Structure 1
Amino acid sequence: MTDARGVCARSATDLSVNAPYVRGWAEAKHAADRLAEQLHTLDLDALFPQLKADVNVFGEGIVRLGTIRPATAQALATLIMTGLTNEVLRRAAAEDDPPTATS
């Protein structure tokens, strides 16, 4: 599912023979459900009312966020950057800690 930027292809309105639509959609559904759970945990699920799984004409699963407000996009970017920063810090701390010897 790629456009010129490698992002999205048209939706699967014209189905193609031999494309693994069910597998692609199932992968997208799993990812959309995980995202919905996390958004719910953060009490942000109402900001993404159009979140859903879909599939393109090549059978690739896609997750649609729907139309969102600029503030919502900025909040999502901040959450992603916060998560990445925490992960980097966690890994750096793990590398700095010497392994403990057990007898």
Structure 2
Amino acid sequence: MPHEPTDGHDAATWSPLDSEGWYAARNATTALRDALVRAGLEKDFPYLRADLNAFGHGLVELGRVSPDTAERLAELLRLAMASGFRRDRDGDEHEHAPATSEEDKGRI
């Protein structure tokens, strides 16, 4: 409607660069990319990218991976958890006693 307030923004001129969700997704994608490079998995995630959904919520697209890549990623996560690294939903890191069982020791 011609008399509705627009707050200076027109939907036709909206850009993902105006969205906090875009920057959060981009930063998380960059952090994941760097970790994958350090683990030697950079070529195994060809679809990794930052994205936004229709509501402007940031998303990280991991894409499809081979079963071998999924197994390697699962092993990396198990090793991180066994070493005592924990991160809660708020992103805070916590150190815990190593949670290695006899079964885990055989895989490491």
Provide structure 1 residue ranges, at least 5 long, that are not aligned to the other structure: 1-16, 94-103
Deviation at 1:74, TM superposition (A): 1.5
Q: Output the amino acid matched with 2:59.
A: I
Root mean square deviation of aligned Cα: 2.5
The 1-side partners of 2:58 and 2:84 are apart by 27
Select 1:74's aligned residue among 64, 71, 75.
Answer: 71
Task: Pick which of 25-34 and 52-61 moved more.
Answer: 52-61
Which structure has the greater CA radius of gyration?
A: 2
Question: Equivalent residue for 1:11?
Answer: none
Q: Which has the higher strand share?
A: 2
Pairs aligned (count):
76
Question: Equivalent residue for 2:56?
Answer: 59
Q: What is the TM-score normalised by the length of structure 2?
A: 0.60
Provide structure 2 residue ranges, at least 5 long, that are not aligned to the other structure: 1-10, 86-94, 99-108
Q: What is the TM-score normalised by the length of structure 1?
A: 0.63
The 2-side partners of 1:74 and 1:60 are apart by 29
Deviation at 1:55, TM superposition (A): 1.0
The 1-side partners of 2:81 and 2:57 are apart by 26
The 1-side partners of 2:20 and 2:44 are apart by 28
Q: Output the amino acid matched with 2:77.
A: I
Query: Are positions 1:92 and 2:97 aligned together?
Result: yes
The 2-side partners of 1:50 and 1:62 are apart by 13
Question: Equivalent residue for 2:40?
Answer: 43
Deviations 1:40-93 (A, max 9, x none): 1111101011110001122211111111111111111111121111126x5227
The 1-side partners of 2:61 and 2:72 are apart by 17
Question: Equivalent residue for 1:27?
Answer: 24
